[in-house]
Amino acid sequence: MKAVRVHKLKAEEVRRFAERIGAKDKERLVVCRGDYVEIPILDGFERYFEGYEIVEQNNPVFARKADLFEALKDKIPKDLWEYIPRRYKIIGDVILVKIPNELEKYKCLIGETLLKIHKRCKSVWRDLGREGMLRKPKVELIAGKGSETVHKENGCLFKLDVTKVMFSVGNQGERMRIVKLVQDDEIVVDMFAGIGYFTIPIAVHTNAKKIYAIEINPDSYFYLLENIKLNRISNVLPILGDSMYVTPERIADRVVMGHIFCQDFLPVAIRALKSDGYIHYHESVPEVIIQRPIERIKRACELLGKDVRIENFRKVKNYSPGVLHVVVDAYIY
């Protein structure tokens, strides 16, 4: 978890800048350490703070932990305090929270308490993970009602139903990082478009010529169409289908492979590129075999007689203990 460390005299200016460009991590508080201040930022935004010191926060202070903990501690036995969730996600006006089994019988209390803390929110859902290739959410209503919402992020609107499609708040930095890479007039293929996680910010913030947005799940596709309308976008071509079979060939300057289990799709992505271009390949990989995504890209290129230059390899977020969600930027020619 990164933060920009600045002298307190500069802190307000840098905090405002971080907020303006959407870099500030709202889940953590600004922390004062002596004459210096740590301003928490999202992964992927480090390069906007050139000339400043970027530090890894060992003791981050979370924005909402105290509220929830304080509100619950008199109602939950002390030996269970350690299980009280320290973080949760707010998507539009819906809250998603992971609750360990130890707190099963307190889940509705936790939901009601969150609704009291966040008065503008209408419902709280217990987050039980995601299933299969479609990454369908498993959720359970624990307070309030309503599952459809509109989430605002980096100047884009994302309409979705939290019971039908996922929204990964932790990928926000990665979405904006990709936006900064897209050049004017590029043709982009988004092979796992979902509700437009990458497609919408690219369309809103860049001058890409065209974005092919492929999605297999009709629920996600429905919201992709909604989000194209909501953000008044005209350069997206949405395609409902399996990207293994419907991805266009020799057309793209850039291919986004925003699915953590998409290694089998690498040959299709490479064929989607013009004679050369970029692939942004995501994978969830155990830290002990951290080179695997790069090896997979190299092997796929070799089999298709292409050369590759690995331009960037970075962590998007932690996936599970010992396993990272990473992304590789590969230039293929």
Ligand X SMILES: C[S@@+](CC[C@H](N)C(=O)[O-])C[C@H]1O[C@@H](n2cnc3c(N)ncnc32)[C@H](O)[C@@H]1O
Q: Which is nearer to ligand X, 11 or 316 (CB)?
A: 316
The footprint of ligand X on this chain (CB under 6 A) covers a number of residues equal to 20
Ordered DSSP codes for 101-139 = GGGGGGHHHHHHHHHHHSTT--EEEEEEEEETTTTEEEE
Interface pick for ligand X out of 123, 168, 206, 231 (rule CB under 6 A): 168
Query: Residue 169, interface with ligand X (CB under 6 A)?
Result: no
Q: Which is nearer to ligand X, 113 or 220 (CB)?
A: 220
The answer to whether 106 and 83 are in contact (CB under 8 A) is no
Q: Which is nearer to ligand X, 107 or 205 (CB)?
A: 205
Query: Residue 215, interface with ligand X (CB under 6 A)?
Result: yes
Of 301, 295, 303, the C-alpha closest to 326 is 295
> Which region among 64-72, 128-136, 155-163, 286-294 touches ligand X (by CB under 6 A)?
128-136
Site string for ligand X, 76-95 (x = CB under 6 A): --------------------
Q: Kindly state the tokens that stand for 215.
A: 């999605």
Cα separation, 262 vs 300, in Å, equals 12
Interface pick for ligand X out of 182, 214, 270, 300 (rule CB under 6 A): 214
The answer to whether 37 and 61 are in contact (CB under 8 A) is no
Interface pick for ligand X out of 49, 125, 158, 197 (rule CB under 6 A): 197
Query: Residue 194, interface with ligand X (CB under 6 A)?
Result: yes
Tell me which residues in 230-289 interact with ligand X (CB under 6 A).
242-244, 258-259
Cα separation, 273 vs 278, in Å, equals 8
Please give the helix or strand (H or E) that residue 40 lies within, else none. strand 36-40
Of 13, 16, 19, 2, the C-alpha closest to 53 is 2
Interface pick for ligand X out of 133, 303, 304, 310 (rule CB under 6 A): 133
Query: Under the rule (CB under 6 A), what is the footprint of ligand X?
Result: 133-135, 166, 168, 171, 175, 192, 194, 197, 214-217, 220, 242-244, 258-259
